[in-house]
Structure 1
Amino acid sequence: MMPAITPSTLEVGTGANSRPIAVERRAGAAPGLFWLNGFKSDMGGSKAIAVDAYGAAHGLAVTRFDYSGHGRSGGEFLQGTVSRWLEEALAVFALTEGPQIVLGSSLGGWLALLLNRALRRAGSGRVKELILVAPAVDATQDLMLAGFSRKELKSLEERGYVERASQYGPEPYVYTRGLIEDGRTHLMFDGVIETGCPVTILQGGKDPDVPQEHALKLVSHLLHDPVTLTLIPDGDHRLSRPEDIRRLEDAIGRAVAD
């Protein structure tokens, strides 16, 4: 019988910054699988569920959670920043044991790299491999701010936020001044990115949100660690079709076997 999912709530932050983070963990062997969602996504998404199913089928530990302002976690979405979500990722990661394969989609890809960097600076080498799906590294600067129109830049200055229609749901995406300004403190493309572990990148060739050029830019900054980039010519941003999920599963299998 496969271990059941254990849901829990983790309080992160203190005082007015405290927020309850919804976590789901499945017990299993090492290396564990640690999943990081994309912007406005949650741990009930198709890729997150596929990662959990893979872990269950192969007896691996799996950890998933929702950022504050997302899914079942507390906190206000409009207060969300890279710093807050990274703090939450580190707090949840501390619940895990042994080597972990860290997987991140879109914004979660950036957070995966930031998480790994923070752990390495603290002397932890528990990240066995990074698997990044359409990684939106430096997204606040290169993919959000750089793409704003004059009207949107004026809205950001005067109203403190920008609204954009989403092709993934009825509610618009909201990008706040706080998110953009905080993102500047976490930029990674200003130098070499050292991971200390292998990196696998899955990138769609028809991704309108994180173009393939962005993935190539990331590769150009990973100078000292093994990198595998799989470009899926007809793939979109989500990469959640059955064939895309199989590629993700194959990447996990290779990381576990290495």
Structure 2
Amino acid sequence: MSPSFLALSGERRIAVRQRRPAGAAPTILFLPGYASDMMGSKALALDALAERHGLGMLRFDYSGTGESSGRFAEGTLDCWLEEAEAVAHLDDNPLILVGSSMGGWIMLHLAERLGARVAALVGIAAAPDFTDWGYGEADKATLAANGELRRDNPYGGEAELTTFSFWQSGERLKLLDRPIDVYGPVRLLHGDADAEVPVEIAMRLKDALASTDVQLAIVKGGTHRLSAPNELTLLERTVLDLVPPSARA
């Protein structure tokens, strides 16, 4: 499936792959993590799930990543949240938001903005407020002094870049110090061997959500990616359980 492109302000062209739902079936909107894109194993597994069960699927690349236009260094959390909201309006059916890592942070803000349109949320190693707890004082001083910070990439390859403008946008959009106005079903998946997002963050998120229908699944041995075959099966089962049987093909 080739992408289509959504034109936004600032000459941004956001690459989107859309699978239309059958009838009133919900649509899964996948929100990638930091510096990730829509071609990862979790996004592809959910797209295959949607195809099998007649669900809609929306996946996209933030500006500056994947097939979308722009420079990654110019991206900010509020900019990428705006793009996620624009993509959400491409489909009128109920939405199941699935956010991976930083995408879990965007997912929460998007759910507050969209309100009743959101049927359910699934967070995969969700990382709200990581500009707060994910950077030490020395890192923050480097960001302020140099305008950027480069740290070793835990997955190898090029160093991980954080810009001061991204860090500032994250600080403006912190969530964990207030009630999060989400009231529908929320499922959180988190590995107990996640070296990037401590399980404590998942516990704080569980408690901050206003919803009374929140379940947190701790995956033994699960790392931050949660993309092993058994972990992808858990993700698929979690999402499908949120779809009414009458809405599945």
**Band the TM-score falls in, shorter-chain normalisation:** over 0.9
In structure 1, C-alpha distance between the alignment counterparts of 2:192 and 2:244, rounded to whole Å: 28
Cα distance in 2, alignment partners of residues 95 and 231 from structure 1: 33
What is the letter of the counterpart of residue 223 of structure 2? D
Are 1:132 and 2:123 counterparts? yes
Instruction: Work out whether residues 105 and 132 of structure 1, in 8 Å CA contact, stay in contact via their aligned partners in 2.
Output: yes
Aligned mates of 1:257, 1:247 — CA distance in 2: 18
Please say if 1:53 is aligned against 2:48: yes
Aligned-partner Cα distance in 2 for 1:157–1:84: 20
Q: Paired residue for 1:102?
A: 97
Give yes or no for contact 2:183–2:210 (8 Å, CA) kept in 1.
no
- Which residue does 1:43 correspond to in 2? 38
Report the secondary structure of 1:207's partner residue: coil
The superposition leaves residues 67-101 of structure 1 with CA deviations (integer Å, 9 ceiling, x where unpaired) of 01110101111111111000000111110111011
Q: How many residues align?
A: 243
Matched-pair contact (CA < 8 Å) for 1:195–1:225 = no
User: Which residue identity does 1:100 align to in structure 2?
Assistant: L
Q: Distance in 2 between matches of 1:194 and 1:149?
A: 30
TM-score with structure 1 setting the length: 0.91
Q: Does 1:210 align with 2:201?
A: no
How many percent identity over aligned positions?
40
With CA pairs under 8 Å and 6+ residues apart, which has the higher RCO, 1 or 2? 2
Alignment partners' CA distance in 2, 1:7 and 1:250: 27
Secondary structure of residue in 1 paired with 2:168: helix
* Contact 2:12-2:63 at 8 Å conserved across structures: yes
CA 1:93 to 1:176, structure 2 compared with 1: closer, same or farther past 3 Å?
Answer: same
For 1:133, the aligned partner's letter is I
- Give the whole-Å Cα distance in 1 for the aligned partners of 2:178 and 2:144: 29
Equivalent in 14, 17, 23 of residue 24 of structure 1: 17
Residues 156-188 of structure 1 show CA distances to partners (whole Å, capped at 9, x for unaligned) of 122111101112230111111101111122111
- Counterpart mapping for 1:80-91 below 5 A: 80-91=75-86
Alignment match, 1:251: 238
CA distance in 1, matches of 2:55, 2:156: 32
Determine helix, strand or coil for the equivalent of 1:256.
Answer: coil
Q: Distance in 2 between matches of 1:83 and 1:43?
A: 19
Name which of 183, 193, 196 aligns with 2:180: 193
8 Å contact 1:69–1:75 — kept in the other structure? Answer: yes
8 A Cα contact 1:36 1:65, kept in partner: yes
User: Structure 2 CA distance, aligned partners of 1:101 and 1:224?
Assistant: 15
Structure 2's unaligned 5+ residue stretches are none
Cα distance, 1:6 vs. partner? 5.6
Inter-partner Cα distance in structure 2 for 1:42 and 1:169: 17
CA contact (8 A) 2:37 2:61 kept: yes
The match for 1:73 among 68, 76, 81 is: 68
Any idea what the Cα deviations from partners look like across 1:218-250, whole Å, max 9, x if unmatched?
Answer: 011124331010001210000000000010011
- Structure 1 residue 10 and structure 2 residue 6: aligned? yes
Distance 2:58 2:210 in 1: 29
Contact 1:204 1:231 (C-alpha < 8 Å) held by counterparts: yes
1:97-143 deviations in Å (ceiling 9; x for gaps): 110111010000010001111122xxxx1110000000001111122
The CA distance in 2 between the partners of 1:27 and 1:184, in whole Å, is: 36
Unaligned stretches of 5+ in structure 1? Answer: none
Measured on the aligned residues, the alpha-carbon RMSD in Å equals 1.3
CA distance in 1, matches of 2:109, 2:137: 28
Is the 2:111–2:182 contact (alpha carbons within 8 Å) kept by the matching residues of 1? yes
The equivalent residue for 1:177 is 164
